[in-house]
Amino acid sequence: MKASGNLSDRIFNIANTIFMLLIVLVTLYPFWYVVVVSFSTIDHVVGNDFILWPNGLHWDAYEQVFRNNLIPTAYRNTLFVTIAGTLLSMLLTILGAYVLSLRNLPGRTGLTLFVVLTMLFGGGMIPYYLVVSSLGLIDSLWALIIPGCISSYNMILMRNFFQNVPDGLQEAAMIDGVGLTGYLVRILLPLSTSALATVTLFYAVGYWNDYFTSILFVRTRELWPMQRILREVLMTAEFQNMMYDDARQKMPPETLKNAMIVITVIPIICVYPFIQKYFVKGVMIGSIKG
Amino acid sequence: MRTMSKSLTYSRPSAAQRRWKAVRRNWEAYLLFLPVLVWYVIFCYMPMGGLVIAFKQFSPIKGIADSPFIGMANFTRIFSTPSFLAAVRNTLILSALNLIIVFPIPILFAILLNEIRHQRFKKIVQTISYLPHFISWSVVGGLLYMLMAPQTGAINNLIVAFGGEAKNYMGISQYFRTIAVGSTIWKTMGWSAIVYIAAITNVDEQLYEAAYIDGAGRLRRIWHITLPGIRSTIAVLLILQIGSIMNSNFDQIFMLVNDMTLDVGETIDYYIYRIGLSASNNFSLATASGMIKSVIGFVLVVAANALSKKISDGEGIW
């Protein structure tokens, strides 16, 4: 397609470019806004239509947020859940995906159906809650990990990837006598690093962003992850009062909430430019059926 | 289903023995699958079994087995409960809005982005458009509450600047659906466009050149070449979305809905949570509501997949 110089084409290009810039603005401005407000004093924010810059760098809101012991604890909880959860998820997902990818395994169809059926039908929230409760997992960090640690979608994704590895490799490995586990560990996994990276990141971002599991299973505040604390600060008056335990401060709630949002979202914004290409790859593998 | 195995057609009498031998030879594979199997049994199949409490008057003290069986009573009751019916209505309205308004937008975005000639600019816009996908709904909810805050929020201040009125938009039922649809667009547009962008790059370049020589303008090329070229992708994704109209986005609804907006914001999922685990502990009624949702959802998804297979020459989701 060659660029043509006629007028309507040029108008289209200009309008289209402006439209794209508008999309960029609408996508990024909310983040910029919360950063700006979190560093500003409240009189700068009230009644100001379109805030572009903070009036100075006021760290008071951050000091106030971190004065509350719950925030460092919540950060630790989120880190633990993300790391331990991703490891466990990857272990189980690799095992499942590998076995489902073995072409000549008797019963493979049945096992695949066993997994796929759960993507179509489930017991729903209450029976799920009762099962987790009967296992004694309620009110523990493990409740944020174990009940949801396998995503069938991710498992099928990885199975599709494993299936694309030529069969001949496996046969050769079997003749060499490495066994099924040896083949997985020594040959298949080193060949699948990009798929492993993709699925690892799917899980890690999922754990990091999860708040609903803690609403279902965790009541103790000291066990809440960051995202849950943020939700309670935003949505419940009780929790807002708790952030004000210090009588000296006269911080308006908006500034404090903005600081909370910033410290919750900063890690994701920092890693996202580096991980987004793996995510895109995952979407591509997912759209090719095996 | 693609993965259906060829049926065993060994003619020799030793077929069963050979099969048993194959099973034994692969013992390692079954052992590797064991932890996965156990997890699925506990966290997926046991809850399915737990659906039995939809037919019982469940009491946590008596347990599932000893709670009295009351047949379909929970279902007749749920269908005459106004708040359940309202939740069904709210869910269907939100799904309809998602189909009509949210669904076409990534297609439009993908097409327009494809028309950008400057490759670097295109790449940057696309990468930025993914960003909201990585952000949790609690943060998106936070951004909304902040931007809409009555005194300080940028959106509220902008509305006032244009002669409008400062309001607590997050707490007014009338605006709930607009905010829900708007935030879904903001969060999903760039990410959903990936599939369409990939489909567009597969459209035959020669078609565009031929159309160009024939004097077709930009919009006509989009209309007559790009759109038909990605038609089957659009159809498959549309059907799959129709298959999930009984679902609402849990994470989103939980951030947006509050006591003031419950009348329009309560979806089936939220209703189940509220009567089952939050406001009251009516496990049986909540399970029955969930079961209605799951059964209808199951039928819709299976039908949707069958239909999408037809459209895309055997390419279903599984």
Q: What is the rounded CA–CA span in Å between residue A130 and residue A137?
A: 10
Whether residues A32 and A151 share a domain: the answer is no
- What is the reported pLDDT for B318? 43
A44 & A75 share domain: no
Per-residue CA distances from A77 to A81, A144, B252, B256 (Å): 6, 10, 22, 25
Q: How many domains does chain A have?
A: 2
| Nearest CB to A122; choose among B151, B217, B294 | B294
Non-local CB neighbours of B224 within 8 Å, separated by 6+ positions: B211, B216
Residue of A nearest to B21 (CA): A106
More confident residue, A6 or B130: B130
Q: What percent of chain B has pLDDT over 90?
A: 49
Q: State the pLDDT at residue B317.
A: 47
CB distance A123–B302 less than 8 Å?
A: no
Q: How is B174-243 classified by DSSP, letter by letter?
A: HHHHHHHHHHHHHHHHHHHHHHHHHHHHTS-HHHHHHHHHTT--HHHHIIIIIHHHTHHHHHHHHHHHHT
What pLDDT is attached to residue A52? Answer: 74
Q: Which residue of B has its CA nearest to A126?
A: B287
Residue B104 lies in a domain: yes
Q: Please tell me the predicted confidence (pLDDT) of residue B190.
A: 93
- Report the CATH number that the domain containing residue A254 is assigned in CATH: 1.10.3720.10
Taking residues B72-92, what's their average pLDDT? 93
Same domain for B297 and B208?
yes
Note down the domain range covering A20.
Answer: 7-58
Q: Is residue A126 in some structural domain?
A: yes
Is residue A267 situated within a structural domain?
A: yes
- H-type helices in chain A, by residue range? 7-39, 42-45, 60-67, 70-101, 108-120, 125-134, 152-163, 167-175, 179-183, 189-191, 193-209, 212-217, 226-235, 237-242, 253-287
Query: Which B residues in the span 211-270 are in contact with A, Cβ-Cβ below 8 Å?
Result: 212, 217-219, 250-251, 254-255, 258, 269
Q: How would you class A120 by CB atoms within 10 Å of its CB: exposed for 0-12, middle for 13-18, buried for 19 or more? A: middle
Residue A45 shares a structural domain with residue A88: no
Cβ(A128)–Cβ(B272) below 8 Å: no
Residue B191 has pLDDT above 50, yes or no: yes
- Whether residue A257 and residue B43 make contact (CB cut-off 8 A), yes or no, is no
Going by pLDDT thresholds of 50, 70 and 90, the confidence category of residue B316 is: very low
Q: Are residues B117 and B44 in the same domain?
A: no
- The stretch B109-125 carries a mean pLDDT of 93
Confidence of residue A275 (pLDDT cuts 50, 70, 90): confident
Angle at B208 between CA B205 and CA B210, to 5 degrees: 110
Q: What is the pTM of this model?
A: 0.88
- Tell me whether residue A1 is in a domain: no
Q: Domain range spanning residue B279? A: 78-137+183-311
Angle of helix B137-147 relative to helix A7-39, nearest 10 degrees, comes to 90
pLDDT at A143 > cutoff 60 = yes
- Domain-terminating residue out of A15, A39, A58: A58
Q: Would residue B201 count as lying in a domain?
A: yes
The confidence score (pLDDT) of residue B305 equals: 82
Cβ separation A34–B142 shorter than 8 A: yes
Residue B164 lies in a domain: no
pLDDT of residue A248: 47
In the 8-state DSSP scheme, what is residue A144? G
How far, in Å, CA of B59 to CA of B56, rounded?
Answer: 9
Contacts (Cβ under 8 Å, ≥6 apart) of A214: A144, A223, A224, A225, A227, A228
Query: Which chain B residues are Cβ-neighbours of A127 within 8 angstroms?
Result: 46-51, 53, 287, 290
DSSP B275: I
* A55 has pLDDT over 50: yes
Does residue B161 lie in a domain region?
A: no
Q: Phi-psi region for residue A139, left (φ > 0), alpha (ψ -120 to 50) or beta?
A: left
Q: What sign has the CA pseudo-torsion A75, A217, B185, B261?
A: negative
Residues B97 and B29 in one domain: no
**Do B130 and B34 reside in the same domain of the chain?**
no
Nearest to A268 among B129, B134, B209 (CB): B134
- Cα nearest neighbour of B64 on chain A: A130
Contact partners, residue B195, CB within 8 Å, separation at least 6 = A283, A287, B233, B237
Q: What is the mean pLDDT of residues A48-57?
A: 71
Same-domain pairing of B222 and B115: yes
Residues written for chain B? 318
Digit-coded pLDDT (tens) for B16-26 = 888 888 888 88
Do residue A110 and residue A12 come from a single domain?
no
**CA A232 vs CA A78, A187, A214, A227: distances in Å:** 16, 47, 12, 9
Q: Are residues B220 and B110 in the same domain?
A: yes
B209 to chain A, minimum CA–CA distance in Å?
6
In which region does residue A162 sit, left (phi positive, over 0), alpha (psi from -120 to 50) or beta (all else)? alpha
Q: Does the beta-carbon distance from A3 to B136 stay under 8 Å?
A: no
Half-sphere exposure of B174 (CA within 13 A, CB side): 3
How far is the CA of B294 from the CAs of B57, B274, B285, in angstroms?
Answer: 20, 18, 14
Please tell me whether residues B29 and B101 are part of one structural domain.
Answer: no
CATH assignment at residue B207: 1.10.3720.10
A55/B13: higher pLDDT: A55
Surface of B (87-116) touching A: CB under 8 A:
109, 112-113, 115-116
Q: What is the structure's pLDDT at A234?
A: 86
Share of chain A above pLDDT 90, in %: 48
Q: Are residues B129 and B273 in the same domain?
A: yes
How much of chain B exceeds pLDDT 70, in percent? 94
User: Is A190 inside a domain boundary?
Assistant: yes
Give the number of domains in chain B.
2
pLDDT at A45 over 70: no
Which chain A residue has the Cα nearest residue B149? A254
Q: Show residues of chain A in contact with B136, CB under 8 Å.
A: 208-211, 227, 264, 268
Q: What pLDDT shows up at residue A194?
A: 86
Name the residue facing A126 among B39, B217, B286 (closest C-beta).
B286
Q: Does A48 touch chain B (CB under 8 A)?
A: yes
Q: What is the DSSP string of A25-47?
A: HHHHHHHHHHHHHHHS-HHHHTT
Do A13 and A83 share a structural domain?
A: no
Tokens describing residue B136? 């949790």
Q: Which is more confident, A208 or B163?
A: A208
Which pLDDT score is estimated for A79? 95
| B34 domain-assigned | yes
Instruction: Tell me if chain B has a CB within 8 Å of the CB of A57.
Output: no
- By the 10 Å C-beta count (0-12 exposed, 13-18 middle, 19+ buried), A69 is classed as exposed
Judge contact between B148 and B155, C-beta under 8 A.
yes
Distance CA B101, CA B83 (A): 26
pLDDT at residue number B149: 82
User: Which tens digit of pLDDT belongs to each residue from A206-256?
Assistant: 999 999 999 999 999 999 999 999 998 888 776 666 666 554 456 677 788
- If asked whether residues A188 and A278 sit together in one domain, one would say yes
pLDDT reading at B11 higher than 90 = no
Say if residue A1's pLDDT is above 70. Answer: no
**Statement to judge: residues A155 and A30 lie in one domain:** no
User: Which tokens belong to A122?
Assistant: 């489930």
**Residue of B138, B205, B267 to mutate for A, most A C-beta atoms under 10 A:** B138
What confidence tens digit (pLDDT) does each residue in A163-194 have? Answer: 888 878 877 887 877 888 888 988 899 988 88
B263: CB partners within 8 A, 6+ apart = B86, B173
Round to whole Å and give the CA distance between A222 and A228. 11
Nearest-by-CA chain A residue for B290: A124
Size of interface A-B (CB pairs under 8 A): 291
- Whether A207 and chain B come into contact, CB under 8 Å, resolves to no
What are A7-26's pLDDT values in tens digits? 888 888 999 999 999 999 99
Cα–Cα distances in angstroms (integers) from residue B159 to residues A26, B163, B165, B311, in the given order: 16, 7, 7, 46
ipTM: 0.89
pLDDT level of residue B211 (50, 70, 90 thresholds)? confident
From A69-83, A222-236, B156-170, B290-304, the region with the lowest mean pLDDT: B156-170
> Is any Cβ of chain B less than 8 angstroms from the Cβ of A194?
no
Contact state of A149 with B39 under an 8 Å Cβ cutoff: yes
DSSP H/E element including B295 = helix B283-311
Looking at per-residue pLDDT, the higher value among B205 and B110 belongs to B110
Q: Is residue A2 part of a domain?
A: no
User: Could you give the C-alpha distances from B311 to A284, B229, B248, B315, in angstroms and in order?
Assistant: 20, 14, 26, 8
For residues B235 and B239, what is the distance between their CA atoms, to the nearest angstrom?
Answer: 6
Q: What is the mean pLDDT of residues B139-162?
A: 85
The pLDDT of residue A287 is: 59
Within-domain flag for A217: yes
A52 and A125 fall within a common domain? no
Position A194 in a domain = yes
Supply the mean pLDDT for chain B: 87
| Nearest neighbour of A106 by CB, restricted to B2, B23, B53 | B23
A289 pLDDT more than 60: no
